[in-house]
Amino acid sequence: MNTPPESNIPQHVAIIMDGNGRWARQKGLARIEGHRAGAESVQRAVDVCSELGIRFLTLYAFSTENWRRPASEVRGLMKLLDQFLQERLEELQKHRLRLKAIGELDRLPASVRKRLEKVMEKTCEHKAGTLTLCLSYGARAEITSAVRTIAAEVQRGELKPEQITEETVEAHLYTSDLPDPDLIIRTANERRLSNFLLWQASYSELWVTPVLWPDFRKEHFLQAIADYSRRTRRFGGMKNA
């Protein structure tokens, strides 16, 4: 498949990576093997973004709701995350990518937080792009946290209620240093946002594929980009206004 013109390539792609468990079940494997295979798809997505010049890639890796899963699965996921961070540092440095993590990171195991902080510190000066991992992340929790912080500023007299704007809220979100996603991809044919970037996704283009995340390849990513490039984004206005 031909690559769309550079002008039609999104600046920021976010992915809801779905289908790891179904992939494992179809193959008669333990669920953790689906997550392990999914980690390989993450690397493929990073490579495609570097190749196409997509500067921001945000991945919904672990939601606040995922803590409700069986303890054994959560432990396995945390172990995979630690392994991913350890193994991919060299690739991030090679591509000059900054690693960012957003969510209730204090809920992560101490060893994983330490590894995460180390990788973020080692890549913080990279300018080629940003890979953001949403870990223990929920959009409602993010917005609630922002509101609490703003309310505290009002209470201290640092801000007046009438001074609160959309820009004020955006400045207090986890993603304050990122542009809103242009394109959100969801795999496994699921058609909902699942508490993902609810504020930031207001005008994001959506692309859904039946492909399970562990089977997601470059060709599927290019299909999403090609579909995005054919759309006209009006942001609530009119094309010729």
Residue 230 identity? R
pTM assigned to the model: 0.92
CATH of the domain at 54: 3.40.1180.10
Query: What does the pLDDT read at residue 167?
Result: 97
Could you read off the pLDDT tens digit of each residue along the chain, which spans 241 residues? 555 555 589 999 999 999 999 999 999 999 999 999 999 999 999 999 999 999 999 999 999 999 999 999 999 999 999 999 999 999 899 889 999 999 999 999 999 999 999 999 999 999 999 999 999 999 999 999 999 999 999 999 999 999 999 999 999 999 999 999 999 999 999 999 999 999 999 999 999 999 999 999 999 999 999 999 998 877 666 555 4
Determine, yes or no, domain membership for 171. no
Q: Supply the range of the domain harboring residue 191.
A: 8-138+181-229
Rounded Cα–Cα distance for residues 105 and 199 (Å): 20
Determine, yes or no, domain membership for 151. no
Determine, yes or no, domain membership for 176. no
Catalytic residues: 18, 66
Determine, yes or no, domain membership for 131. yes
Query: What does the pLDDT read at residue 235?
Result: 65
Query: What does the pLDDT read at residue 125?
Result: 96
Cβ–Cβ < 8 Å for 111, 71: no
Determine, yes or no, domain membership for 75. yes
pLDDT, one tens digit per residue, over 30-89 is 999 999 999 999 999 999 999 999 999 999 999 999 999 999 999 999 999 999 999 999
Determine, yes or no, domain membership for 235. no
Instruction: For residue 174, give every residue at least 6 positions away whose Cβ sits within 8 Å of its Cβ, in sequence order, or none.
Output: 102, 103, 137, 142
Rounded Cα–Cα distance for residues 56 and 228 (Å): 16
Domain count, the chain: 1
Torsion sign, CA atoms 183, 36, 123, 67: positive
Query: 16: which 2 tokens?
Result: 């809801």
Determine, yes or no, domain membership for 197. yes
Query: What does the pLDDT read at residue 233?
Result: 74
Determine, yes or no, domain membership for 189. yes
